[in-house]
Structure 1
Amino acid sequence: MTVAGDFGTIGLVGAGAYGAALALAAARARRKVVLWARDAETVAAIERTREAPRLPGVALPEAVTATTSLAALATTDALVVTVPTQSLREVCEALAVILPSGLPVVSAAKGIEQSTGLFTTQVIAQACPGARPAILSGPSFAVDIGQGLPTAVTLAATDPDLARALAEALSSPAFRIYHSADPRGVEIGGAAKNVLAIAAGITIGLGYGESARAALVARGFSELRRFGEAHGAQGETLMGLSGLGDVVLSCASPQSRNFAFGLALGQGRNVADAAGGKLAEGAFTASILASMARERGIEMPIAEAVAGIIAGASGVREAVTGLLARPLRAEL
């Protein structure tokens, strides 16, 4: 059985804000950390200032070592991969060449691969066949984790002992990780909530007010639940931190990149400009989420509306008008 003590050194793949925050969280859990960044400038900046460029004002302890060498990750006891979902396969294929078989590889991305419709643990399993996939998700902003503010998330794997051991190894007093044996439910919550956050941002950007946002979030969560149940997710997972918890956070705060993206769309900016140079995972997830729902006959009008806006098939006000014109029926 794997125990928390086995994970003395954690590899963090990706030195963006969230990767740096998780590296710091692992260090606070008394783990040594190897933080991989793609570019040498980021590594040099970390070594010079002990701060990650994407997470300024938060000091990284000496337990965190930055590197551009993927080979340096081969000696770690587990990996947490924070690269965006659409880049995950490429990174995992590169890792597969150097990683020992049986190494836990935890995805911290929230999305669905556009080209295949696969969830992130499935991408890891395909691209890095020797890995033991897991998923980390839940209501968390990098800045909150970095500042040591109380945060709770979920770590899931099909092997419950692995999930428990990883959760114990990475938890600290302010960063609480609950474990689960339902990775699909955790992945669906993280992917679908990003699309709902875009819709919530659009609602506020249009000036429709808090009552409209509350209604949209409630109906959107019903869509998430239907999609999750059709894909075998457990109801408890969807109602937990990685489902409802993340929906609440992402649909309520402009700190959420997806909410901020939707807000800009609602205020009249076009799709190309709305992201403001920042990644909004939901913009890539919306189309594949809606497509997967249609294939199974799952009704997801809010996801469809967001996908149509991003694809340029409908304008923001046109899409919202279409949602408001839907027939009244019993609430399900």
Structure 2
Amino acid sequence: MSISVLGGGAFGTALAIALSGDGSEVSLWSRDRLDADRMRETRMSGKALPGLSLPASLTIARDIPQADIALVAVPAQRVRAFLEENGERLTDCAIVSCAKGIERGTGLGPVDVITSVLPSARAACLTGPSFAVDIARGLPTALVLAMRGDAEPVQRALNRPALRIYRTSDVSGAQLGGALKNIIAIAAGIAIGAGLGDSARASVIARGFAEMSRYARQRGAETETLQGLSGLGDLVLTCTSEKSRNFSAGVLLGKGGSPDADATVEGIATAQAVAAEAAKMGLDMPLTNAIAAVTEGHLDIPMAIETLLSRPAGKE
């Protein structure tokens, strides 16, 4: 099956390199024409993930190519606009979102956004514990393909020896796990940046996972999915590594700074979207509410910490 990767950021570039490394023909399209031209001329990866050679079978496309599988590697808040602009070119392929987030204003995950824009699309998401640089370098990585219907052909097409693709039909669980962990990663980063220590971070991870699970189950997710790669696996990775943009953003916040405005920190918009939805559902989401309030400017870090630590110590 032919594969196109739409989005020349770090993750899209990494997937394109990994998928074409065995000689498979893969196309990579980037909205940044200058960056794409440089990749085409130099056969080196672009500015989002620099310093890597591009496999000979990887084509840097000038226009969105026709393919059997389109991996849409754009941030969660931009998926809808991208599809509205380019959907007519994607009518005959499986559309796989690589975003991890919840759309602000609708509360929808990436797969739901795809089907809301293109109702007849074969929509899926690719998620799980992964850093772009690890994938690009061929380090062993396991991801989850979540798709309603027959996912096996897409799974086989994307699977590689070092890029293990597992499949699930629990789309809700997979996309929520990948999105919600970003909120908790920001909270874990704040704990470290504010000097609260590793024990506090461990508590954030554990209580954050419970919070994720409560919300996801209310949205129809299966518990086993949250306990797998796309939930707990991704949570542990992003809460313990400085490679995580969400964790690093949290560290900056904890130190009294602000995240890089040019960096994609999906957990900020996701926290705001989930806090609003959870309030409507009557769910107790203290960490999510705190991150939403901090990133919206309604609460400072010391007050957020004091608020969380003053909560009654209830039953585990």
TM-score (norm 1): 0.92
Give distance in 2, aligned partners of 1:276 and 1:147.
Answer: 27
Q: CA deviation at 1:100?
A: 3.0
Q: CA deviation at 1:276?
A: 5.5
**1:195-274 map, 5 Å:** 195-269=183-257, 273-274=258-259
Give distance in 2, aligned partners of 1:29 and 1:83.
Answer: 25
Q: Which amino acid aligns with 1:79?
A: A
Q: Which residue of 1 aligns with 2:53?
A: 59
- Pairing 1:284–2:269 present: yes
Bigger shift: residues 125-134 or 103-112: 125-134
Q: CA deviation at 1:24?
A: 1.4
Q: Secondary structure at the match of 1:191?
A: helix
Give distance in 2, aligned partners of 1:55 and 1:63.
Answer: 19
**1:1-332 map, 5 Å:** 7=1, 9-28=2-21, 30-53=23-46, 54-70=48-64, 73=65, 75-101=66-92, 103-159=93-149, 161-162=150-151, 164-269=152-257, 273-275=258-260, 277-331=262-316
Bigger shift: residues 117-126 or 248-257: 117-126
Bigger shift: residues 309-318 or 26-35: 26-35
Across the two proteins, how many residue pairs are aligned to each other?
315
**1:257-288 per-position Cα deviation (integer Å, ceiling 9, x unaligned):** 0000000000011xxx3226311011111111
Q: Which runs of 5+ in 2 are unaligned?
A: none
Q: CA deviation at 1:95?
A: 2.2
In 1, are the aligned partners of 2:7 and 2:28 still within 8 Å (CA)? yes
Q: Secondary structure at the match of 1:153?
A: strand
Give distance in 2, aligned partners of 1:237 and 1:121.
Answer: 16
Computed over aligned residues only, the root mean square deviation of the Cα atoms, in angstroms, reads 1.2
Identical columns (%): 44
Give distance in 2, aligned partners of 1:51 and 1:299.
Answer: 48
In 2, are the aligned partners of 1:105 and 1:131 still within 8 Å (CA)? yes
TM-score (norm 2): 0.97
In 2, are the aligned partners of 1:28 and 1:172 still within 8 Å (CA)? no
In 1, are the aligned partners of 2:246 and 2:267 still within 8 Å (CA)? yes
In 1, are the aligned partners of 2:140 and 2:163 still within 8 Å (CA)? yes
Give distance in 2, aligned partners of 1:211 and 1:317.
Answer: 18
Q: Which amino acid aligns with 2:105?
A: S
Give distance in 2, aligned partners of 1:76 and 1:180.
Answer: 23
Q: Which residue of 2 aligns with 1:4?
A: none
Q: CA deviation at 1:115?
A: 2.2
Q: CA deviation at 1:247?
A: 0.2
Q: CA deviation at 1:97?
A: 1.9
